[in-house]
Amino acid sequence: MRRLLFLLPLAVFAALAAWLYIGLGGDPARIPSPLVGRTAPAFAVDGLATADLEGPALVNIFASWCVPCRAEHPLLTHLAEKEGVAIYGIAYKDKPENANAFLAELGNPYRRVGYDRDGQAGVEWGVTGVPETFVLDAGSVVVFKHTGPLTPDTVRRDLLPALGR
């Protein structure tokens, strides 16, 4: 019994490490967002609502206060301008004037932008961190979700295939 107590740290750590490995996406059987496989959630904020979304498209959650969002911005611009991908933006917990200043400074890759001042749409989309990107298919069903800034790798490996390209 006493021995088991000394095994406890190892057991807890093993569970944690396994979890981190899954979280890292190193596992092909990665556990997806609960939204994947369902139609886009019902939401309506200033400038954007569920009915406006026309798949196939990306829904990108961003904010002017979010530094990683700046990091992924050139990729979104590339996707919109060079690949012709429709991208809808939701400015999460952000004032419209700040979000607009952000887009004026870096360029606007979005077809439409919704201003989610109090994070209400973020709750519907199950946002856990900004930025997040959802892929919708032609029937507006969520087929993929990426948390964190997009990288060229994720775009090539996950986003474009999920968009059917």
Per-residue tokens: 94: 């952000």
114 beta partners: 90
What single string gives the DSSP state of each residue in 113-148? EEEETTSHHHHHHT--SSSEEEEE-TTSBEEEEEES
Q: Which stretch binds another protein (CB under 8 A): 50-58, 62-70, 75-83, 109-117?
A: 62-70
Per-residue tokens: 129: 């961190």
Per-residue tokens: 109: 């890759």
Assign 75 to helix, strand or coil. helix
d(CA 106, CA 128): 24
Residues near another protein (CB under 8 A), total: 47
Instruction: Give least dist CB 1 to another protein, A.
Output: 11
d(CA 45, CA 120): 8
Residue 29 found at the interface with another protein (CB under 8 A): no
Q: Which stretch binds another protein (CB under 8 A): 14-22, 45-53, 77-85, 133-141?
A: 14-22
Closest CB to another protein among residues 37, 164: 37
Residue 149 found at the interface with another protein (CB under 8 A): yes
Residue 96 found at the interface with another protein (CB under 8 A): no
Residues that bind another protein (CB under 8 A): 2-3, 6-7, 9-10, 13-14, 16-17, 19-26, 31-35, 65-68, 70, 97, 101, 105-106, 119, 122-124, 126-131, 147-149, 151, 153
